[in-house]
Chain A
């Protein structure tokens, strides 16, 4: 067993557990777009960031790929993490606004504006479909080509692959395809229709103090409504 500190709690996890799995086991929710329990972790969406270490030596790592290590100090909801996560969600919204998964996630994390130019991409290159095809369907019909801004997912030579059995696994797992969001209008890329969480604790403690969804304090209206001005 490995001993580590998670949000101030001393916890024990089995060897080879990732930080995301550990957090999940202890009931702490960490958002992720490219993670699925049934597939190997990939670390591409960068939403599952957590802060490890303390003081000047702390850094952000993707919890889905980072293995639990003895003595590690992990914090999942620090100001630094939340700030990065919100900006990344804003970038996701600016890139692929038609995904309901992304819209919901944005609402949940209080992303209410998009300051970047609007694009309308269909794919966020999270690689779930590629891994689904290879690891669960033993298909390996699709993969990544090119690098950098030209990167995309396609079948070999951009032709229908003989390996593809049209099982639909790729579409089933895709966070952009599985549910199209009808919310946003053309002039406003943010939907926010289901915005319900605005924890007041962030203002006071620079760290979320509970992981309830929805936040009880906010539901009851006892807390000061937080302004998201990061």
Chain B
């Protein structure tokens, strides 16, 4: 039976197909899941999969097991990750040379290979099963949970896991207002940045009178270090399609568009495959499952731009114009794509919809806080032990996310700050570690939920330098249309750069604050209105660091090049010549076995000598 070439005419057909697939899969319950997410792919999981495939072919094990190249499992730090089902044995950092041993020992005999097990970075405890690992145990993975059980491009896998059931439920048992009421009751808020209640957005579009309405899925994820939407689209594209179909049904839209940045080629490919599969089965297109509802989905790609996350700019980009925002009102539900009422939801928001419809708003709400239900995926990156994607119930404290799930700070360093919400967010200090991560609390702390980027910083991070980094990012990514954003950001950067070079003054700091507030107040779109956040939040919590740069001409974290100096402790220096040879600027002088010195005017402050010295004789002042 080739699933791809049958057409489902009624909801019962889908149930029958699901039973068939399940029966077929019942036989081979054991399978090997090799993570094919972005993180693991870059650490070589594709090669590992090939070797697995070859080995299975060669030893005629194909009938005994299936190999699944799955979507992102989340623990990118430990990639490539392999999980052996049905037991759920979790192996990390698997290399091609480990493949034979895994199959021979673990798969065939059930023995555990010690060296491939996950080891807790803090207490060194080893874990065998995926479900026991604190990183995964503490999470609540309603969106990412299916990732490791299925191949992203296999609609059979998705259907056997209960896929498209929520579409059937919405289309056959609920009216559009009932669907909207359910979303409202679940208090689902937009996961893309602004956190606007999705139910209200849908309601407005439903109320708008028009023959043609559009439903756009925003997959132009642009925060540096964030890859939540990417992993959802790459790992579980059907869940997003399902959300889109339900959204279209509820709002009265007959066309869905997924706007993806071309920088995500796998996401584009997987989504296109998923759409073709759903169309073939009759889950998309004319008269879906005989319910009389028509809905088609197309993919629109564009060169990724941070500003295209702004809804009006995204519409302009889909229409083929320059990705530039415009003033609202008119809102998109009044005049959206091609002048028609349009709803734009983020990938993650839409992926939540099937869960809400299937399991009900109460269950969804139970996961989150009082004001917003559900979970949130964070991409936990920076100076944290377990970098990767984590999905947690809204309202979990930052401490739990960073220390319990993230495994604490790398190399035993001290935690200094965490940056949430991407470039437009803010840095939160130690004192706010116990505050829950929900929309309101993060906003009142001067940061924001954003799309879920979470960058952890340790004591060796300079906060002025961080402000400079984000301002530089925004200077490039601003569309440049409105003066306050374009010139404001570049002038803020000018002042911050002066401060990092030790040329700042207290008056300039005051001017920076004044300018930041004006940019926030007077810019046209969300990008400009939040562009001052990195500056304002770092000044709010780390003003002493700014003063150290300005008054003492000192960078407390030792990052800002113009304010640090390298020197050699003559007592410790053995004159081994190693630093002298490595120095790219030829700035180190000294006879062999005699203490060396660094020539200040030639030193480029690259820090290579510090890393090379075996005697800790090189010091950073």
Q: Are the CB atoms of A88 and B494 closer together than 8 Å? A: no
Q: Are the CB atoms of A60 and B522 closer together than 8 Å? A: yes
CA A67 to CA B335, docked complex, whole Å: 13
Knowing A87-B515, A147-B479, say if A46 contacts B522 (CB, 8 Å).
yes
Shortest distance in angstroms between A174's beta carbon and chain B's nearest beta carbon?
Answer: 15
Determine the residue in chain B with the shortest Cβ distance to A83.
Answer: B518
Contact with B along A45-64 (1 / 0, CB 8 A): 11001000000000111100
User: How many residues in B have their beta carbons less than 8 Å from beta carbons of A?
Assistant: 33
Determine the residue in chain B with the shortest Cβ distance to A49.
Answer: B522
Q: Are the CB atoms of B522 and A147 closer together than 8 Å? A: no
* Chain A residues near B (Cβ < 8 Å): 42-46, 49, 59-62, 65-67, 69, 80, 83-84, 87-88, 91-92, 94-95, 115-117, 124-127, 144, 146-151
Determine the residue in chain A with the shortest Cβ distance to B515.
Answer: A87
Q: Are the CB atoms of B483 and A88 closer together than 8 Å? A: yes
Q: Are the CB atoms of A65 and B326 closer together than 8 Å? A: yes
Decide if B572 is an interface residue (CB 8 Å cutoff). no
The count of A-to-B residue pairs whose CB atoms sit within 8 angstroms is: 97
Q: Are the CB atoms of A43 and B326 closer together than 8 Å? A: yes
B511 contacts across to A, CB distance below 8 A = 115-116
Q: Are the CB atoms of A116 and B522 closer together than 8 Å? A: no
Determine the residue in chain B with the shortest Cβ distance to A47.
Answer: B483
Q: Are the CB atoms of B326 and A147 closer together than 8 Å? A: no
16 examples of A-B residue contacts, CB within 8 angstroms: A43-B327, A43-B481, A44-B524, A45-B483, A46-B483, A46-B524, A60-B522, A66-B329, A87-B518, A94-B491, A125-B483, A146-B480, A147-B479, A147-B480, A148-B478, A149-B478
Q: Are the CB atoms of A116 and B491 closer together than 8 Å? A: yes
Knowing A67-B329, A67-B330, A148-B486, say if A88 contacts B480 (CB, 8 Å).
no
B521 contacts across to A, CB distance below 8 A = 59-60, 80, 84
Consensus secondary structure, chain B interface: helix
Q: Are the CB atoms of B329 and A44 closer together than 8 Å? A: no
Determine the residue in chain B with the shortest Cβ distance to A66.
Answer: B327
Q: Are the CB atoms of A144 and B322 closer together than 8 Å? A: yes
Determine the residue in chain A with the shortest Cβ distance to B487.
Answer: A91
Q: Are the CB atoms of B523 and A44 closer together than 8 Å? A: no
Q: Are the CB atoms of A46 and B486 closer together than 8 Å? A: no
A94 contacts across to B, CB distance below 8 A = 491
13 other A-B residue contacts (CB within 8 Å) besides A62-B524, A91-B491, A125-B480: A43-B326, A43-B482, A49-B522, A60-B522, A65-B327, A84-B522, A88-B483, A88-B484, A88-B522, A91-B488, A144-B480, A149-B475, A149-B486
Decide if B601 is an interface residue (CB 8 Å cutoff). no
Decide if B611 is an interface residue (CB 8 Å cutoff). no
CA A49 to CA B528, docked complex, whole Å: 15
Determine the residue in chain A with the shortest Cβ distance to B510.
Answer: A115
Pick from B479, B491, B494: contact of A148, CB below 8 A.
B479
Q: Are the CB atoms of A151 and B494 closer together than 8 Å? A: no
Q: Are the CB atoms of A95 and B475 closer together than 8 Å? A: no
Decide if B588 is an interface residue (CB 8 Å cutoff). no
Knowing A46-B524, A49-B522, say if A148 contacts B330 (CB, 8 Å).
no
Q: Are the CB atoms of A95 and B307 closer together than 8 Å? A: no
B522 contacts across to A, CB distance below 8 A = 46, 49, 60, 84, 88
Decide if B507 is an interface residue (CB 8 Å cutoff). yes
Determine the residue in chain B with the shortest Cβ distance to A92.
Answer: B483
Knowing A46-B523, A116-B491, say if A150 contacts B480 (CB, 8 Å).
yes
CA A102 to CA B494, docked complex, whole Å: 22
B507 contacts across to A, CB distance below 8 A = 115
A61 contacts across to B, CB distance below 8 A = 327
B484 contacts across to A, CB distance below 8 A = 46, 84, 88, 91
Pick from B322, B491, B524: contact of A43, CB below 8 A.
B524
Decide if B571 is an interface residue (CB 8 Å cutoff). no
Decide if B476 is an interface residue (CB 8 Å cutoff). yes
Shortest distance in angstroms between A110's beta carbon and chain B's nearest beta carbon?
Answer: 16
